Amino acid sequence: MCVTLIGGMDRLKKEYIAAAREGGATLKCIHRNERNFEDKIGTPDAIIVFTNKISHEARRKAMQHARARNIPISLVHSCGVSSLKECLCRHVS
């Protein structure tokens, strides 16, 4: 399963990837709204957005991208590794 994480903290990127690997998923991290943002999201099996560490515009673009392609999306306010693990358990199971 491929999951795209939008938001979060740069310094926790390695921990996010390790937690996803433990949960049986591959993780792509996008930490901010960049050029070609929607192209970088791609077509994953699920999208997780950490809403407290991303702009409103990036959140809006992620929501539009997910709805247009019928990709499940989770909006989570906290950005800890445990929050990521909980979301992965919901999507992987």
Pairing of strands 26-30, 73-76: unpaired
Which has the closest alpha carbon to 7: 78, 64, 63? 78
List, for residues 34-89, the tens digit of each pLDDT value: 788 888 998 999 999 998 878 899 899 999 999 999 999 999 998 889 999 988 88
**Sign of the CA dihedral running 42, 43, 49, 55:** positive
Other beta carbons less than 10 A from residue 52's beta carbon: 11
CATH code at 14?
Answer: 3.40.50.2300
Looking at residue 64, what is its pLDDT?
A: 94
Could you tell me the CA-to-CA distances from 6 to 40, 50 in Å, in that order? 10, 6
How many structural domains does the chain have?
Answer: 1
What is the residue range of 85's domain?
2-92
Looking at residue 90, what is its pLDDT?
A: 82
List, for residues 14-30, the tens digit of each pLDDT value: 999 999 999 889 999 99
